[in-house]
Amino acid sequence: MMPRDASDANDRSSGPFGGGSRWSDLERPPLNADALRRALVREGALWTRLEVVQRTGSTNSDLVALAASGEAAEGTVLVAEEQNAGRGRLDRTWTAPPRSGLFFSVLLRPAEVPVARWGWLPLLAGVAVATGLARAAGVDTALKWPNDLLVTVGDEERKTGGILAERAGDDGVVVGIGINVTLRENELPVPTAGSLVLAGARGTDRDPLLRAVLRSLEDQYGRWRSALGDPVASGLQETYAAGCATLGRFVRAELPGDRSVTGEAVAIDGDGRLVLATENGMQEPVGAGDIVHLRPA
C-alpha cells in the first residue's frame, strides 16, 4: 500500500492554523491530488496512477518496493509533501521543509529499449525538468552532469534540484526528482543551494509546476522510447548537450577509488558519459563520479 495520502484528516487534527497542520504555512499550500490526477492520468497517457502522501522517508525507496511487490505499473507517480530520508547520489541525504519543493518518483518500464541505453534516463529526466520549469516558472535551469539542476541566484550558480535513478527489478527504473521551489535563504542547507523563488521564478504554485514537468517527461520519454533509446535519433544527446552547463568548463572529476581527473569537459558521448580533454592531450570518458566546476573554458 502507498503511505498515507496528504488529505488524511488526521493531518488536520490541530486546526486550520495549528502547529501540525498542513495549512500552517499559507505561502506553501498543499498539492491538489485530485486535480493533478484529472490533468495527468488519462487513457493512452504514460501516467497511470498518481498519489500524494503527506510525508515519507523516500519516494524512491517506496516506489522501488511497490514495483518489486508487483503493486505498481509503469507510469506510477508518487509525490511527497515532505521527505525525511530523501536520497541523492552517493548516499547523500535530501531534506527540506514541508511543501517547500517538489519531491517525487516515477516508475518507468522501457521494455523495448536495450538495457545498455537505460543510463540515459537520468539525463532525459534532467532535460524534461529544465524544459518544464522554463515553461511554467520562467526560470532558466541548466544541467550539471550527470544529474544536478542549476539556477542563477544573483550572479551565483546554485543547485536547486537533483535526480536519482534506481533499478526496480529486471524490467523497471524508478527516477526520483527533487526540486527546491520556495526554499528561503535562511532555510538553505548549504550556501551553494538555491530555489526557484530565489532565482526569480514568475510562479511558484507547485501544481502547475508538477504538471509541466510530468508532461515534459512524458514527451521526452515517448520520443526516446520510440527511437529504441537511441540518443541521436531521439534528439536527446543534442538537447542534453545544449543545456549542459558542464560542457566548455574546466572541471575536476572525483572518481571511485579516490582518483580524480582534471580537464575541459568537451562532449557527452553516445553512452551519456562526460568526455574530458586532459592536460596530457588524452580524452577520458567519465561514467560515474562527482564533477566540480572549476572555471569557464
In a domain, 2, yes or no: no
Same domain flag for 211 and 83: yes
Same domain flag for 95 and 217: yes
DSSP 153-193: ETTEEEEEEEEEEEEETTTEEEEEEEEESS--GGG-SSTTB
Please report, for the domain that includes residue 291, its CATH number. 2.30.30.100
Same domain flag for 182 and 260: no
pLDDT band at 281 (very low <50, low <70, confident <90, very high): confident
Residue for cell digits 516506489?
63
Cell of 237: 544527446
Same domain flag for 222 and 259: no
d(CA 16, CA 142): 39
Phi, psi of 132 (to 5 degrees): -65, -40
Residue 286: helix, strand or coil by DSSP?
A: strand
Same domain flag for 103 and 177: yes
What digits encode the pLDDT tens for the residues 149-202?
999 999 999 999 999 999 999 999 999 999 999 999 999 989 999 999 999 999
Angle at 48 between CA 42 and CA 51, to 5 degrees: 110
Total domain count for the chain?
2
What digits encode the pLDDT tens for the residues 210-256?
999 999 999 999 999 999 999 999 999 999 999 999 999 999 999 98
- Residue 176, Cα to own-chain centre: how many angstroms? 6
Same domain flag for 163 and 272: no
Per-residue pLDDT, averaged over 258-283, amounts to 95
d(CA 222, CA 46): 8
What digits encode the pLDDT tens for the residues 57-103?
999 999 999 999 999 999 999 999 999 865 555 455 667 899 999 99
Same domain flag for 251 and 268: yes
Same domain flag for 199 and 280: no
In a domain, 112, yes or no: yes
Same domain flag for 263 and 231: no
- Please indicate, yes or no, whether the overall pTM of this predicted structure exceeds 0.85: yes
Cell of 52: 500524494
In a domain, 3, yes or no: no
| DSSP symbol at 31 | P
d(CA 39, CA 114): 31
Same domain flag for 40 and 177: yes
Same domain flag for 64 and 178: yes
| H/E run at residue 113 | none
- pLDDT for 30 beyond 80: yes
> At residue 289, what is the residue type?
G
Please report, for the domain that includes residue 34, its CATH number. 3.30.930.10
Host domain of residue 280: 247-296
pLDDT band at 15 (very low <50, low <70, confident <90, very high): very low
Bridging pattern class, strands 86-87 and 93-94: antiparallel
Same domain flag for 211 and 261: no
